[in-house]
Amino acid sequence: MLTKRIIACLDVDAGRVVKGVKFLNLRDAGDPAELAAAHSRAGADEIVLLDISATHQNRAILLDAVRRAARELFVPFTVGGGIRSLEDAAAVFDAGADKISINSAALADPGLITRIAERYGSQAVIVAVDAKRLPGGNGARWEVRSAGGRKPTGRDVIAWVREAESRGAGEFLLTSMDRDGTRDGFDCELTAAVVDATSIPVIASGGAGGPEHFVTVFGEGKADAALAASIFHFSLNSVAELKQQLRAAGIPVRWPC
Amino acid sequence: MIAIVDYRAGNLVSVKKAVDHLGFTCAITSNPIVVERAEKIIVPGVGHFAATSALDAAGLRAAITNAIERQTPFFGICVGMQWMFESSEEAPGITGMGVFSGQCAHFCPEVKSPHVGWNQLEVKDGSRLLRGVPSGAFVYFTHSYRAPLVAETVACCNYGGAFSAAVERDHLFGVQFHPEKSGDAGLTMLQNFCRL
């Protein structure tokens, strides 16, 4: 049976893993290569490394971290943050990533999705979508945010994911800006809306606080995978502990790993 | 030396990294002479079946055919495995190697496609490639087309019906999933192949 994936996310700034609460108040949490290996050993199905500063001077540091993390990692490994061109993507793939994640650059130039997919395959292209719930109106609607969630784009999330899929996206990494860092649970309504609008896998992100939140996002939210960062880093939960609880709730997971 | 055949279909770094990790010498190459002389050949591949036409353009099909006639062990991964069949619905005009019979076809509409993630193998006894890999082992898939079940199927997977996850005959091996991304189970298979 195809299992639901638990993806450990490492937010990296200047070569160190940090995790923001609503993208602010960054805390230092360790070396990306060490944490990637630790999460993989503990049963994470995939590792995502997001370069949250993505400044030019940090690029070499990031590629070095990717290279070190990839060396001993034999589960799928995604790298995102600051990828603005096919050349940027190629450098990350050459350093050992299996997939790249693009966000603002895809919004500015949707053809970039196609160019990377044509060279590396759609399965290697994750389009990250930061969604912010719009107030009022008839039924729930979400707006796409860019620039790390800071900039409103005026684009509707559902329209954008449909376009991104048609341009060659292989998966979506969908983050609820309303829930990110809150530990109040995933936005299941948002996740299910994107799953229903598209046919490629959707990775839910933002708001994980405990195992019960994963159970609901895989059920009600229909997510194919879920991403979490902060709940793992400070030993609040291990992936193994999380997976055992998911199994008990009847969610198919890769276990034992 | 193990040749990892580069035909511009995706990223070969992770396959090389896994073979390096296991302590075997390998090289990523698109040179037919190097491929023909290699001790073993791995054809990875992701993306569209049409990408395999680059194997013809570069003279790699002939090099691979010559090598396997001389019993050089061959391992096709993902699209590389599909290429070992006769053809694929994905690109009907393109001919595969045809060492296994049948056509690769799209998943039935009842299941979400692509099939992405960790799924389980049902392993047949006696496979050299899968020695040490138990039935029920999880491996990582990412594909929209799947190969039919054939006499040489040594592991199947269920997703909208059973399909060939691994095929094997003599020195010819193919897997639909990504052993280089499938944790310890995948490394065991790569090691079994590299040790032949």
> Using alpha carbons only, how large is chain B's radius of gyration in Å?
15
Decide if pLDDT at B157 tops 50. Answer: yes
Q: Residue A66 carries which side chain, given as an amino acid letter?
A: V
In a domain, A140, yes or no: yes
What are the structural domain ranges in chain B?
2-194
Decide if pLDDT at A169 tops 90. Answer: yes
Chain-chain contact of A257 with B183 (C-beta, under 8 angstroms)? yes
B167: Cβ–Cβ under 8 A, 6 or more apart, which residues?
B81, B84, B100, B147, B150, B152, B153, B154, B173, B174, B175
Chain-chain contact of A254 with B21 (C-beta, under 8 angstroms)? no
Beta pairing partners, B168 = B173
What pLDDT sits at residue A231? Answer: 60
Pick the closest to residue B74 from B111, B102, B36 (CA basis). B36
Where residue A238 falls among pLDDT bands split at 50, 70, 90?
confident
Give A6-62 pLDDT, tens digit per residue: 998 888 888 888 864 333 444 556 888 988 888 888 889 999 999 988 676 778 888
B131 in contact with A, Cβ within 8 Å: no
- Set B26, B115, B168, B178: catalytic member: B178
Average pLDDT of chain B is 95
In a domain, A156, yes or no: yes
ipTM for the predicted complex comes to 0.93
Token digits for B66?
A: 């010559």
Q: What percent of chain A has pLDDT over 90?
A: 65
Q: Which positions 118-177 of A are in contact with B (Cβ < 8 Å)?
A: 119-124, 170-171
What pLDDT sits at residue A27? Answer: 53
In a domain, A257, yes or no: no
Longest dimension (CA), chain B: 45
B134 in contact with A, Cβ within 8 Å: no
B13 in contact with A, Cβ within 8 Å: yes
CA of A155 vs chain B CAs: smallest distance (Å): 26
Chain-chain contact of B11 with A93 (C-beta, under 8 angstroms)? yes
What pLDDT sits at residue A136? Answer: 80
In a domain, A149, yes or no: yes
Residues of chain B found within 8 Å of residue A124, distances taken between Cβ atoms:
10-11, 46
User: pTM for this structure?
Assistant: 0.94
Residues of chain B found within 8 Å of residue A171, distances taken between Cβ atoms:
116
The rounded distance, in Å, linking the Cα atoms of A145 and A53 is 17
Average pLDDT of chain A is 89
From B114, B118, B140, residue closest to A200, measured CB to CB = B114
Decide if pLDDT at B20 tops 90. Answer: yes
Q: Is A178 a catalytic residue?
A: no
In a domain, A253, yes or no: no
A98 in contact with B, Cβ within 8 Å: yes
B2-194 CATH fold: Rossmann fold (3.40.50)
Q: Is B180 a catalytic residue?
A: yes
Decide if pLDDT at A69 tops 80. Answer: yes
Pick the closest to residue A52 from A25, A106, A12, A97 (CA basis). A12
Chain-chain contact of A120 with B47 (C-beta, under 8 angstroms)? yes
Residues of chain B found within 8 Å of residue A40, distances taken between Cβ atoms:
183
Helix B13-21 and helix B183-194, axial crossing angle in degrees, nearest 10: 80
Chain-chain contact of A98 with B138 (C-beta, under 8 angstroms)? no
Q: Which of B8, B113, B116 would best serve as a mutation to test chain A binding (most A beta carbons within 10 A)?
A: B116
Chain-chain contact of B11 with A3 (C-beta, under 8 angstroms)? no
Structural domains of chain A, count: 1
Q: Which residue of A has its CA nearest to B182?
A: A75
CA dihedral B174→B180→B183→B188, nearest 10 degrees, is 50
In a domain, A213, yes or no: yes
Token digits for B186?
A: 């995948």
> Contact, A112 vs A105, CB < 8 A?
yes
Range of the domain at A76: 5-248
Chain-chain contact of B11 with A120 (C-beta, under 8 angstroms)? yes
> Contact, B55 vs B61, CB < 8 A?
yes
- Set B36, B152, B168, B180: catalytic member: B180
What pLDDT sits at residue A79? Answer: 97
Give B135-145 pLDDT, tens digit per residue: 999 999 999 99
Token digits for B157?
A: 């997977």
Chain-chain contact of A74 with B18 (C-beta, under 8 angstroms)? yes
Where residue A241 falls among pLDDT bands split at 50, 70, 90?
confident
**CATH number reported for the structural domain that contains residue A166 in this entry:** 3.20.20.70
Decide if pLDDT at A166 tops 90. Answer: yes
A219 in contact with B, Cβ within 8 Å: no
